[in-house]
């Protein structure tokens, strides 16, 4: 029996720990509550704790070698960046609030 194809929301784009739908919720939470208000961000995400959200955001966005752009997982290497942004629900202005 073949496994079902992953849905865009279940893809893991920048971390093996965070799915695409959670990625969007983390970014929305940071935008809504501010970077550093990790308890509120975690509550917004609903499936991750405050420390998890902070660690993910810091490692994927702040410490990205391509800052302010995140670096996709190796499994996403053959997907062009427009497709990554679409499937991972990353808005075009992600990271601009940091500059």
What pTM does this model have? Answer: 0.68
Q: Which residue has the higher pLDDT, 3 or 46?
A: 46
Residue 78 CB-density burial (10 A; 0-12 exposed, 13-18 middle, 19+ buried):
exposed
Six token digits for residue 5: 């194809």
Backbone torsions φ then ψ of 17, nearest 5 degrees: -95, -20
* Residue 27: inside a domain: yes
* Residue 50: inside a domain: yes
List, for residues 6-19, the tens digit of each pLDDT value. 555 566 677 777 88
Q: Alpha carbon 94 to chain centroid distance?
A: 10
* Residue 85: inside a domain: yes
Residue partners of 9: CB distance under 8 A and separation at least 6: 19, 20, 21, 89
List, for residues 54-71, the tens digit of each pLDDT value. 999 999 889 988 888 887
* Residue 87: inside a domain: yes
């Amino acid at each position: 029996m073949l496994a079902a194809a992953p849905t865009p929301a279940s893809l893991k784009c920048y971390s093996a720990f965070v799915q695409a739908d959670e990625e969007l919720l983390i970014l929305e939470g940071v935008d809504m509550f501010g970077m550093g208000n990790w308890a509120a961000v975690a509550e917004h995400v609903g499936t991750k704790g405050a420390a998890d959200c902070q660690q993910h955001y810091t490692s994927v966005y702040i410490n990205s070698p391509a800052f302010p752009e995140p670096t996709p997982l190796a499994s996403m290497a053959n997907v062009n960046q427009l497709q990554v942004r679409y499937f991972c629900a990353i808005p075009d202005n992600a990271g601009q609030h940091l500059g």
